[in-house]
């Protein structure tokens, strides 16, 4: 497959050479990103082309904008009923240009947990977004659970999965707090944020790379509360049942791609390892 490098002027256009790719993926959404990372992890040279939305529907027109619109609607509803709370007002107008804008997002928080099961490591996250001015009603913006058939002792598997999704949602530039249910994950996460060069495994190197694009990130222990209870309950439910929410993905290939591991070694490993599953 061949494509032409983009250039800014006609004079440089004549100097461009065709570039070789093994695979061209049309559409740059969540599904395409998983596919691109998986094939790239297997050593393929992959190009992703989107006609309009970098990152796909989720960050541009679906998950995030819809939560922002819901938040704006709540604010309007409170304002309309402000007299019930002793606040008088003389009419108001709604500027639709400000409704659903990503500018309303102030911070992101992830509740992350994982459990060992006979089927492998079950992990997941819940994402909460805070709006500007201290309002905390953009939550939960997203939720995801996966089953990784690996049985190795890798505390940061669920953390990486959560960080990848944060990047898909294009939230990496915001202030981010990771709340860990798992003590070992918290300890490794805090160590890697402070000293990225201590990363050992492919998954740890993947985490270190992802932390590297997040200028404001901190890790804390998840204490009992609404998000702790819900994440625990969902993990316990998925430990017992294989639900129809599960779809296949390959976290190991992604880790190798993002951590810069040797692709040939990875394809050798993949032949002996079963596929993994995720749910959204």
Ligand X SMILES: Cc1cc2nc3c(=O)[nH]c(=O)nc-3n(C[C@H](O)[C@H](O)[C@H](O)COP(=O)(O)OP(=O)(O)OC[C@H]3O[C@@H](n4cnc5c(N)ncnc54)[C@H](O)[C@@H]3O)c2cc1C
Task: Choose between 13 and 70: whose C-beta lies nearer to ligand X.
Answer: 70
* Least distance CB 147 / ligand X (angstroms): 17
Bridge partners of 24?
A: 47
The Cα 261–Cα 120 span in angstroms is: 23
Q: Which residue number has the CB closest to ligand X?
A: 29
7: its two tokens: 């250039």
The one-character DSSP state at 265 is H
Ranges within 176-205 binding ligand X (CB under 6 A): none
Task: Choose between 234 and 269: whose C-beta lies nearer to ligand X.
Answer: 234
* Least distance CB 32 / ligand X (angstroms): 5
Q: Which of 44, 74, 269, 280 binds ligand X (CB under 6 A)?
A: 280
Ranges within 16-75 binding ligand X (CB under 6 A): 26-32, 49-53, 56-58, 62-63, 66
* Least distance CB 139 / ligand X (angstroms): 10
Task: Choose between 71 and 205: whose C-beta lies nearer to ligand X.
Answer: 71
The Cα 98–Cα 79 span in angstroms is: 16
- CA distance to 45, 53, 110, per residue, from 99 (Å): 40, 19, 24
* Least distance CB 60 / ligand X (angstroms): 7
The Cα 146–Cα 182 span in angstroms is: 16
* Least distance CB 199 / ligand X (angstroms): 28
* DSSP sequence for 187-241: HHHHHHHH-GGG--SHHHHHHHHHHHT-SSEEEEEPPSSHHHHHHHHHHHHHHH-
Task: Choose between 68 and 257: whose C-beta lies nearer to ligand X.
Answer: 68
10: its two tokens: 């006609």
Task: Choose between 63 and 199: whose C-beta lies nearer to ligand X.
Answer: 63
Task: Choose between 17 and 51: whose C-beta lies nearer to ligand X.
Answer: 51
* Least distance CB 196 / ligand X (angstroms): 28
Bridge partners of 178?
A: 110, 219
Phi, psi of 248 (to 5 degrees): -75, 145
* Least distance CB 142 / ligand X (angstroms): 4
The Cα 128–Cα 259 span in angstroms is: 27
Task: Choose between 62 and 190: whose C-beta lies nearer to ligand X.
Answer: 62
* Least distance CB 107 / ligand X (angstroms): 17
Task: Choose between 3 and 12: whose C-beta lies nearer to ligand X.
Answer: 3
Interface mask toward ligand X for 134-163; x: CB under 6 A: -------xx---------------------
- CA distance to 5, 11, 18, 21, per residue, from 15 (Å): 10, 8, 10, 19
| Size of the residue set binding ligand X (CB under 6 A) | 21
Cis ω on the peptide bond leading into residue 195 (within 30° of 0)?
no
Instruction: Give the footprint of ligand X on this chain (CB under 6 A).
Output: 26-32, 49-53, 56-58, 62-63, 66, 141-142, 280
């Amino acid at each position: 497959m061949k494509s032409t490098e983009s250039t800014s002027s006609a004079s440089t256009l004549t100097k461009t050479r065709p570039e070789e790719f093994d695979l061209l993926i049309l559409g740059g959404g969540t599904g395409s990103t998983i596919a691109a990372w998986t094939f790239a992890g297997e050593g393929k040279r992959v190009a992703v082309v989107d006609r309009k939305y970098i990152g796909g529907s989720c960050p541009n027109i679906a998950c995030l904008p819809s939560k922002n619109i819901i938040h704006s609607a709540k604010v309007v509803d409170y304002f309309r009923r402000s007299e019930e709370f002793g606040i008088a007002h003389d009419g108001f107008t709604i500027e639709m240009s400000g409704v659903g804008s990503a500018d309303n997002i102030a911070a992101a928080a992830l509740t992350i947990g994982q459990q060992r099961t006979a089927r492998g490591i079950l992990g997941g996250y819940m994402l909460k977004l805070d709006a500007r001015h201290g309002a905390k009603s953009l939550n939960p913006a997203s939720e995801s659970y996966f089953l990784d058939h690996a049985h190795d002792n890798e505390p940061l598997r669920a953390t990486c999965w959560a960080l990848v999704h944060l990047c898909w949602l294009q939230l990496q530039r915001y202030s981010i707090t990771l709340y860990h249910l798992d003590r070992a994950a918290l300890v490794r996460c805090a160590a890697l944020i402070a000293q990225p060069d201590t990363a050992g495994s492919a998954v740890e190197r993947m985490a270190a790379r992802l932390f590297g694009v997040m200028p404001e990130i901190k890790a804390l222990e998840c204490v009992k509360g609404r998000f702790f209870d819900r994440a625990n309950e969902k993990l316990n439910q998925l430990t017992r049942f294989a639900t129809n929410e599960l779809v296949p993905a390959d976290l190991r290939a992604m880790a190798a791609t993002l951590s810069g591991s040797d692709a040939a070694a990875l394809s050798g490993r993949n032949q002996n390892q079963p596929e993994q599953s995720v749910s959204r």
